[in-house]
Structure 1
Amino acid sequence: MALLVEAEGLVKEYPTDRGVARVVDGVSLSIAKGETLGLVGESGSGKSTVARMMLRLIEPTAGSVRFDGVDVLAANAGALRAMRRRMQIVFQDPYAALNPRMRVAQILAEPFAIHGETPAGGVEARLRELLDAVGLETAALRRYPHEFSGGQRQRINIARALALRPELLVLDEPVSALDVSVGAQVVNLLKDLQGEYGLTYLFISHSMPLVRYLCGRVAVMQKGRLVELGDVGQVCGAPRDEYTQRLIAATPTMPGEAGAGSLQ
């Protein structure tokens, strides 16, 4: 299967009063087109920093990133702007990610304005299509973010990420701020959207049950380093690293994950 994303030897350091803090230390990952790679670890392990370096939202101290064969870190502003149409991120906090002063129609139309693009059939038709894809009514276009629940806001965030028909979605703990039942609905939505749109996912989480359900492969991070990487069945069923073993032991089995067609 062709690779969409390749990251080699990613390092991120920040200056501190005591010198330099290395928060990511030599991480290498690849994601094939159409697959879901889970990136797991406890808070502070560096997983979100890795994701942001892969999208070049922050600059690595060292390492390389290629997207569909193109060097992301060497791209100039114009090339990076074009590349950003093909890679999007859904953030953890569905409340902070939406501008409270903008109606949903403005929020969803913003990517088209930024990239100077008019979708086939017009913007309004595309906005209705996006809302339908994430299970929201067209009437939502006239409303403000504060009028929605957390799960509905995250659906709006997902719709915005899909606006320009990207190939890669980075999902940065997209359900950790939601309650379990609502989070399960959003995870099932993500699974359906991947099948419908042929998306590639980098799914960041601290929950091994979610990773087992959604991902084909999993990478485990601890203190900025990659400690285990492999098929999700192998890593979760027979983890080699002691940290991975502890991480799995600390999280419960999720109802429906052992082969049911949906997450209950």
Structure 2
Amino acid sequence: MTPPLLIAEGLSKQYGTTRVVSDVGLSIARGEILGLVGESGSGKSTVARMLLRLIEPTSGTVRFDGLDVLHANRAEMKALRRRMGVVFQDPFAALDPRMRVRDILAEPFAIHGDGTLRGNAMETKLTAMLQEVGLDAAALARYPHEFSGGQRQRINIARALALAPEFLVLDEPVSALDVSVGAQVINLLRDLQRTRGLTCLFISHSMPLVRYLCDRVAVMQRGCLVEVGDAVTICEHPCEAYTQALIAATPEFALPTR
């Protein structure tokens, strides 16, 4: 049996006397989409940032493909960064307004020193990246403010996939978009996950959305996991009162039946 791509055990985060995440354990299989759900302030994004080592946990362990993420040195972390991507909630704040799309998409290659892409080869690569997310080459010369929210999120997705990561964190990627545009982005993400064989952590507060997109779901309340299991099963037969309340509080999302 293939081991999970990512395993976290005992993850906790404390700021002063306030504990925002307490003893969280997760595993994500290769090619799986795990949904992490809960109300605002439940600790979902903090968990995701600890998995990526964007913030250091107070305690706990994270292993990615057998590698100890939290004790990796600078060189090891740089190599790991190539294998991980993230799409943030706010599609405008995640893009530098002073940079053209061409430079935004080329930045990961510059940071990780890929000297094989230059001139026409780089232009061809960047164009292909845009086409994969439903945009055309004309976007390369434009600035973020010239795009709609949905288009900006597509640019963010293209950048996150630039180095062909194996693991992608999707931190409420459609919560800042209107319903119809969000549905288009969700379907794009589902198609990309399937064609690329991505392993994903999908953070959301929408149970219907998680049911549609995810294989399994982990439910967080006040920094703790309260329920983990098959996404359809939990959405249809939740055991915890908190999960039942989340389902009751979430309107149906405008997506086709799974």
Same fold (TM over 0.5): yes
Offset at residue 2 of structure 1 (A): 3.2
Alpha-carbon spacing, 1:7–1:118, altered in 2? closer, same or farther (3 Å): same
CA RMSD of aligned residues (A): 1.1
The 1-side partners of 2:215 and 2:116 are apart by 32
Q: Is the 8 A contact 1:42 1:222 kept in 2?
A: yes
Amino acid at match of 1:236: C
Alignment-derived partner of residue 79 in structure 1: 76
Which of 22, 26, 32 aligns to 1:29? It is: 26
Q: Which runs of 5+ in 2 are unaligned?
A: none
Do the aligned partners of 1:209 and 1:257 also contact (CA within 8 Å) in 2? Answer: no
Q: Which moved more, 1:249-258 or 1:175-184?
A: 249-258
Report the counterpart of residue 15 of structure 2 in structure 1.
14
Structure 1: gaps spanning 5 or more residues? 260-264
Is it true that 1:198 corresponds to 2:197 in the alignment? yes
- CA drift of 1:258 comes to 3.4
Task: Give the partner amino acid of 1:170.
Answer: V
Alignment of 1:177-216 (within 5 A): 177-216=176-215
Match of 1:258 in 2: 257
Does residue 230 (structure 1) correspond to residue 191 (structure 2)? The answer is: no
Q: Please tell me whether residue 241 in structure 1 is matched to residue 243 in structure 2.
A: no
The within-5 A match list for 1:128-143 is 128-143=127-142
Tell me the distance in 1 between the aligned counterparts of 2:25 and 2:203: 15
1:56-87 superposed Cα distances (whole Å, 9 cap, x missing partner)? 00000000000011000010011001100000
Are 2:114 and 1:117 equivalent residues in the alignment? yes
- Residue 59 of structure 1 pairs with residue 56 of structure 2: yes
Q: Which residue of 2 aligns with 1:4?
A: 5
Q: In the TM superposition, what is the alpha-carbon distance from 1:252 to its structure 2 partner?
A: 2.4
Distance in 2 (CA, whole Å) between partners of 1:96 and 1:188 is 23
Cα distance in 2, alignment partners of residues 98 and 34 from structure 1: 28
Residue by residue, what CA displacement relative to the aligned partner does 1:24-71 show, whole Å, maximum 9, x if unpaired? 000000100101000000000000000000000000000000001100
Q: Which residue number in structure 2 is paired with residue 262 of structure 1?
A: none
Contact 1:92 1:176 in 2 (8 A): yes
Count of aligned pairs? 255
Letter in 1 for 2:11: L
Matched letter for residue 67 of structure 1:
F
Partner of 1:221: 220
Q: Which amino acid aligns with 1:237?
A: E
Percent identity at matched positions? 69
Amino acid in the other structure paired with 1:37: L
Cα pair 1:212 1:257 within 8 Å, conserved? no
- Which aligned segments of 4 or more residues in structure 1 are displaced greater than 6 angstroms? none
Q: Distance in 2 between matches of 1:220 and 1:256?
A: 22
Distance in 1, matches of 2:252 and 2:200, equals: 23
